[in-house]
Amino acid sequence: QVQLVESGGGLVQAGGSLRLSCAASGRTFSSYYMGWFRQPPGKEREFVAGISKSGGTANYGDSVKGRFTVSRDNAKNTVYLQMNNLKPEDTAVYYCAAAWDIGYFSDYANSPYDYWGQGTQVTVSS
């Protein structure tokens, strides 16, 4: 069992930055691929970023490439999402998730995730 708790959300002006954190319980954090997803108001959930177990490989959704950076610290059981140059369309509830397996093709966006956090709100004002 893994419990995930996100933090770091808030209200920021367009062009600003935020860093989200996701703290995981348990001793097996390094055994999981980690992903960040978001759900804008009235829209479906979408993939934001994913990171391999070691942190050596990352993958991003098209809308955040070049602006967001995902990282992890396995010693602290934490995954981060650094968000720069935020835009009003980045407004959403952000969720972290843990996956035991993301398949042969490393499909972070569409693989089933085993655990989800409760989400943290990010609001970007124009």
pLDDT digits (tens, 9 = 90+) for 78-91: 999 999 999 999 99
pLDDT in tens, 54-70: 999 999 999 999 999 99
Amino acid 102: pLDDT = 86
114 vs 65, 69, 88, CA distance in Å?
25, 22, 30
Q: Which residues of the chain have pLDDT under 50?
A: none
| The pairing of beta strand 33-39 with beta strand 46-51 | antiparallel
Amino acid 26: pLDDT = 80
Rg (CA), the chain: 13
- CA–CA separation, 16 vs 74, rounded Å? 27
